[in-house]
Amino acid sequence: MNKLRKLDDYRWLVPQDYKPGMRVPGIIYANDALMESIKKDESVEQVANAAMLPGIVKASLAMPDMHFGYGLPIGGVVATDAKQDGVITPGGVGFDINCGVRMLRTNLSRADVRDKIRALVEGLYANIPTGVGAKGELRLSRADFDRMLVQGARWAVDNGYGSRDDLDRIEDGGCIQGADPDRVSEKACERGKGQIGTLGSGNHFAEIQYVQNVFDEKAANALGLFEGQITLMIHTGSRGFGHQVCTDYLKVMEASVRKYGFSLPDRQLACAPIDSPEGRDYLAAMRAAANFGFTNRQMIMHWAREVFMRILQLSPRDLGMTLIYDVAHNIVKFEEHEVDGKKMTLAVHRKGATRAFPPGHPDTPKLYKDVGQPVIIPGDMGTYSYILAGTERGMAETFGSACHGAGRVMSRAAAVKACRGRAIERELEDIGVIARYTGRDALKEEIPEAYKDIDQVVDVVHNAGIARRVARLRPVGVIKG
């Protein structure tokens, strides 16, 4: 740790001589207080380890929500050269492939639903399956399931779950090209077939919020946000399907490391050349899991809209419940970036990190061309969430990436232990948050103090210039697994 060098108030350098074998340096985005927390686990070592990946360019990056993960730290971003010597590593994506967040606006103010929050929470809980291994009501034939894996959220819209307008507000239009169900194991399909439209457990949630503060009026207007407005945020991913895809290909990649003679400091960073059979197969399976994640959030959103309309007795027009954006935060994408003055095609791994593309970028939705891609950073239950927008500086420094949340500072077991003798549901209600949950320890595991201070995390992102604050949201109701 003595080799770490503070570059400015929001950036730290992990020098290339931090560990033998590093091909590039590491850059950590953090202030002094967050850095003290970061130093308590092994995530800095993981930043250094990732800097040894074949084909890595520029730097191994970590966002201010970083904490120890499998292979790459959660909050990690690495890019490898897609044209020469680059590799793909499942450890740089994670088990919950395309875990992500989508945010919806409404025409409603907080006063409009003040007496209906409990009913809305109960309605969401009744209509959206939650918890470990939760099964949904949707039952697909294998042929339909395979079509969904290829078409993603487009499949859901074609089958009546949402509208075409939704697709314009989802990363990649809700479908990543190149998915191949034949590259997915039978076990993954069996785990996933019954889980479409389910929330799952852990830090996943559907949360009713209101806009407490607007920081950027122009961007907020473009996103359709105003102070006091009711919104809904959905956080979930590819469930057991994505987990099994990752598990299956970690075994493949461990053999690949031996086959291609890679020397890596951590077997959890097992990888394969991008254009190898192993690399191509993983990418095809990962894209199928990513499309599962987009579809999953699309289904949950559709049912949430129905709950709001039924309980509030409002027409779709009066409710005005429309999607702002949906972002993935466990994924690898092929993107063009400038490195040392040269345009390169890179395999950008984002693990617990989200795209944050600037105004005018070809992949920034047309709706937001003037303000930048929406960046959604959820808190959890009793804490704030934020929406930001991408910047040119972020594109230049972080491959157009920002953090994906607050980041844990306490394990789930430690959080449960810290809750002994406490009534978390009552504590949340005392601060104005109605909660419904399935797992016995679901609320205890996700107590606000189990996470970093999200205000500090967002301050780093904003002040470092890699994304800019648009609005802060406060929860009033939540369902969890």
Write the secondary structure of the chain as one string of H (helix), E (strand) and C (coil).
CCCCEEEECCEEEECCCCCCCCCCCEEEECCHHHHHHHCCCCHHHHHHHHCCCCCECCCEEEEEEEECCCCCCEEEEEEEECCCCCEECHHHCCCCCCCEEEEEEEEEEHHHHCCCHHHHHHHHHHHCCECCCCCCCCCCCHHHHHHHHHHCHHHHHHCCCCCHHHHCCEHHHHCCCCCCHHHCCHHHHHHHCCCCCCCECCCCEEEEEEEEEECCHHHHHHHCCCCCEEEEEEEECCHHHHHHHHHHHHHHHHHHHHHHCCCCCCHHHCCEECCCHHHHHHHHHHHHHHHHHHHHHHHHHHHHHHHHHHHHCCCHHHHCCEEEEEEECEEEEEEEEEECCEEEEEEEEEECEEECCCCCCCCCCHHHCCCCCEEEECCCCCCCEEEEEECHHHHHHHCCEEECCCCECCCHHHHHHHCCCCCHHHHHHHCCCEEEECCCCHHHHCCHHHECCHHHHHHHHHHHCCEEEEEEEEEEEEEEC
Q: Cα separation of 389 and 133, whole Å?
A: 34
C-alpha closest to that of 246 among 293, 289, 306: 289
Residues labelled as active-site residues: 404
Residue 16 · residue 22 · CB < 8 Å: yes
